Structure 1
């Protein structure tokens, strides 16, 4: 509830500070006195866009501040989500700077306008005659029905399930899309993978194969050259071995003459030994050599295969081919597992839908049970408000589609006249009828739900006599469970308020300003008498005013 309101430098309001109590609060004043300014200031406090024209003195900033008792509202989660300090007495402040910029604060913490708007709708419901179209919306009608049906727990459960359903449906759609894309490439990837797998690739085989190929492909030349080399070494008298042996013999005889000659003799000896070892190796190599056309063909084919694969995949090594093979394996495997994943996800979706259907059925039963009560209470209140023939026909049918609050289609039809045609509220109800229907609905809601402070802005226009009394009684009943403001021109409603405030204009220092003050008992009698009989207050008007106040 709104406990304090402070307005500074706003339109015709220079400085205004006022406190409010619980119950029904009525606000009266002549047309043009500035009642709309109060609503404008509250609108800014609750998140509406600022207008530089609303500043009275454009050299000073405009400040609007409201204190709200929020202890009866479950707002801890909201404050936590918005990273705000929760206070039972929450202070909202809005500042409009001369530059046109505006700032908003909740408990001295800066907030965005969107956050302020979200908080605002939880604190105050400003309701004027032109805003009664809200009652014609399906969302609002469901809200009323659900308040009577007490479906909060079921709807929370349903919405959690619906959120999960949408998440799983998005996952399924993504998988199906991936499957479509992967399937297009699957056959080609599978072919490439099979080709690489059949190649049985080894990281370091290429150099070995190339050497083996060169050896087998040139075996005759190798054999010929090895034979010549062996002959050159081993030929008698002219062979390298014999000649080296002769040199070795000569030098060995010169060893005693000098250390240098001895060293040369040793070196020749080493060469002779090494040559002998080379000779043995040459013979060994020659013995191992054997033409193998089959192995040569196999080696050639293997090299050609690896070469072709490298060209095909634009790489230069076997390691790169192995890496491509692993990547293809993952793609093929993923495509093959997608079908399993999709089937599993479809099964999960089916289970979620079954659970959702079960909760939706519970919601449907509760709503169906509450419908007759809602219709009866609405029609009874409307009869008291001068609509004796008002009737509602409400149908609630289960659908296949999952909506945000269940699976039902709600049709709210209305007829104001006996034997009249039933139609949608927005098409068949007049503005005055919609106003009364809205008051009736708010009155019913206040019995089942903790509503924010409600401000009725001249919603009683066009109403008088006994109906005004009934409307006043209705607002009084509502105010037992919530704070209710009524900006009114009707003396019957003005007199019903636990407190009455008057909006008026006065000239201060040659400037017209708007003021708001709490009326004492004597002032209330005069104000109500003036509402009854005009500026010239008669004794009968005073008597009537007293009877309204004290009866």
Structure 2
């Protein structure tokens, strides 16, 4: 749970260092005092998008740091998975925003991506603001509440795995049906293309060999003349290079005994002589192999013309690509021939996957219906306690086509009064009634999910008096089981039931406006609650009333 919050240079806050307590805490303050700023700072810790305008005017950056106690929440795996030091009794999340718009996030002094900070934040704090009451209109929220109460995470994962397989198989079948239908319509053209490529008897690499051969045949006379001249120079007569080299070698060998310094040179000449003889033999063989062959030249040109024509027709640049097209066309023609058998196999697979997904969806529906009964019973009990004894509530189930969340379409049906038919809650519930329903649902969710800290931002809108007191009792009970509940409120009945009371206030200086937050002592709480009861002119009756509320 949240133990400490430190804020520096965030909008109207120059510096704030506040300690939070377990249990049920309340935050009060006049409208505009800066309560939303405190929530905004916590939102930054939870990974909300940063804005350079959040940095206090005239400052380079702002820092927001929150300390959490995680010792009762078994969260070590998150830190192991993200390679972050695990400090259960003092987990620190820090966010730094710069005036140039850049921001950084840290967990236990380890730099992390904002998504990582957000993932951790979602497991630590739930902020329920007034606009979240609109979630009650949304089917996915209503379904999610039931799944949370039913502890359906494993059932949902199992179902989604099966549904994903079914959806992919169904899409593949549809794609193959369309492809086969299109191929059947173009079968004659596909067969003509395939036959043309098969008849060409293409061989990978032959284009390069033919192009080189054509180059050689086209310059056969020049090549043969150059080789003939080189052959003559190397070994053509008694004065050729090899013969001269042999004579020189013989002469120098004769003086080796009397002039040892020449021996190394003689060895080098001997090596050169051997190499020259090999070169002469290779050149002679090459000269004999070169012959102008008009028929072969014509054949190479015709073969290359065939390859170039096919490449141009199919918009490719290599024989390898033509071979790939040929093989693909052959496979498509085989598919056309065997299409019905292949499609029938795919249809059976889709039907089998649909059956398995449907069975998993049915198990999910059964679990949801059981949880829905529990939600209904508990919610009606809460409604009675919250001043709505005639309220009726029902979770209506309808069947829909399989979707990623199952086969259930649900709606929360509600009536606040006797003899009034049930209608979708978003259509008939007042703001105060929605607030009470949402608080009850949050109480149930908090019991099913071990969420350390829940913050209610003026959830009491539209209620007062006894109902407000009962809402506060529910929040106080929520804060008793290793959980921390914080309520931002304007109602004295709720403020009085907090085990800890904080006040946000705004002060003006010569050149700026500053928001501050502090924990109130007992006498300060009496004054604050009395002011909430009677306004700025606090009467003796308001003081006595405040004392009475606190004594409760």
TM-score scaled by structure 1? 0.71
Q: Which residue of structure 2 lines up, in the alignment, with residue 391 of structure 1?
A: 392
Alignment of 1:150-189 (within 5 A): 150-180=151-181, 182-184=183-185, 186-189=187-190
Shift of 1:440: 1.3
Mapped to 2, the partners of 1:350 and 1:162 lie a distance apart of: 12
Shift of 1:431: 1.7
Shift of 1:103: 2.9
Give the structure with higher Rg (CA): 1
Mapped to 2, the partners of 1:370 and 1:448 lie a distance apart of: 11
Shift of 1:351: 1.9
Contact 1:10 1:55 in 2 (8 A): yes
Q: Which residue of structure 2 lines up, in the alignment, with residue 422 of structure 1?
A: 422
Q: Which residue of structure 1 lines up, in the alignment, with residue 486 of structure 2?
A: 485
In the superposition, relative to structure 1, how do residues 429 and 81 fare at CA in structure 2: closer, same or farther (>3 Å)? farther
In the superposition, relative to structure 1, how do residues 161 and 78 fare at CA in structure 2: closer, same or farther (>3 Å)? farther
Q: What is the CA deviation profile of residues 313-367 of structure 1, one whole-angstrom value per residue up to 9, with x for unaligned ones?
A: 9479xxx999978963553235425735544333332222111111111111122
Q: Which residue of structure 1 lines up, in the alignment, with residue 496 of structure 2?
A: 495
Aligned residues between the structures: 447
Q: Structure 1 residue 472 and structure 2 residue 472: aligned?
A: yes
Mapped to 1, the partners of 2:4 and 2:464 lie a distance apart of: 32
Shift of 1:77: 6.3
Mapped to 2, the partners of 1:495 and 1:417 lie a distance apart of: 30
Contact 1:310 1:321 in 2 (8 A): no
Alignment of 1:226-265 (within 5 A): none
In the superposition, relative to structure 1, how do residues 528 and 325 fare at CA in structure 2: closer, same or farther (>3 Å)? closer
Shift of 1:53: 3.4
Shift of 1:78: 5.7
Shift of 1:24: 0.8
In the superposition, relative to structure 1, how do residues 165 and 72 fare at CA in structure 2: closer, same or farther (>3 Å)? farther
Q: Which residue of structure 1 lines up, in the alignment, with residue 432 of structure 2?
A: 432
Mapped to 2, the partners of 1:371 and 1:501 lie a distance apart of: 37
Secondary structure of the structure 1 residue equivalent to 2:395? strand
Shift of 1:460: 1.4
Secondary structure of the structure 2 residue equivalent to 1:389? coil
Mapped to 1, the partners of 2:171 and 2:78 lie a distance apart of: 28
Q: Gapped runs of 5+ residues in structure 1?
A: 204-303
Shift of 1:8: 0.6
Shift of 1:186: 4.3
Mapped to 1, the partners of 2:469 and 2:320 lie a distance apart of: 91
Shift of 1:79: 5.7
Q: Which residue of structure 2 lines up, in the alignment, with residue 454 of structure 1?
A: 454
In the superposition, relative to structure 1, how do residues 534 and 153 fare at CA in structure 2: closer, same or farther (>3 Å)? same
Range with bigger deviation, 86-95 or 377-386: 86-95
Alignment of 1:69-80 (within 5 A): 69-70=69-70
Secondary structure of the structure 2 residue equivalent to 1:62? strand
Secondary structure of the structure 2 residue equivalent to 1:496? coil
Shift of 1:382: 1.6
Mapped to 1, the partners of 2:499 and 2:70 lie a distance apart of: 21
Mapped to 2, the partners of 1:84 and 1:341 lie a distance apart of: 51
Q: Which residue of structure 2 lines up, in the alignment, with residue 347 of structure 1?
A: 348
- Superposed CA RMSD in Å reads 3.7
Secondary structure of the structure 1 residue equivalent to 2:496? helix
Secondary structure of the structure 1 residue equivalent to 2:372? helix
Mapped to 2, the partners of 1:323 and 1:365 lie a distance apart of: 55
Contact 1:186 1:332 in 2 (8 A): no
Q: Which residue of structure 2 lines up, in the alignment, with residue 328 of structure 1?
A: 326
TM-score scaled by structure 2? 0.70
In the superposition, relative to structure 1, how do residues 184 and 75 fare at CA in structure 2: closer, same or farther (>3 Å)? farther
Mapped to 2, the partners of 1:373 and 1:164 lie a distance apart of: 32
Mapped to 2, the partners of 1:202 and 1:530 lie a distance apart of: 94
Shift of 1:70: 4.3
Q: What is the CA deviation profile of residues 152-190 of structure 1, one whole-angstrom value per residue up to 9, with x for unaligned ones?
A: 221121112122223333433443454345545544454
Contact 1:67 1:91 in 2 (8 A): yes
Q: Structure 1 residue 532 and structure 2 residue 533: aligned?
A: yes
Q: Which residue of structure 2 lines up, in the alignment, with residue 106 of structure 1?
A: 107
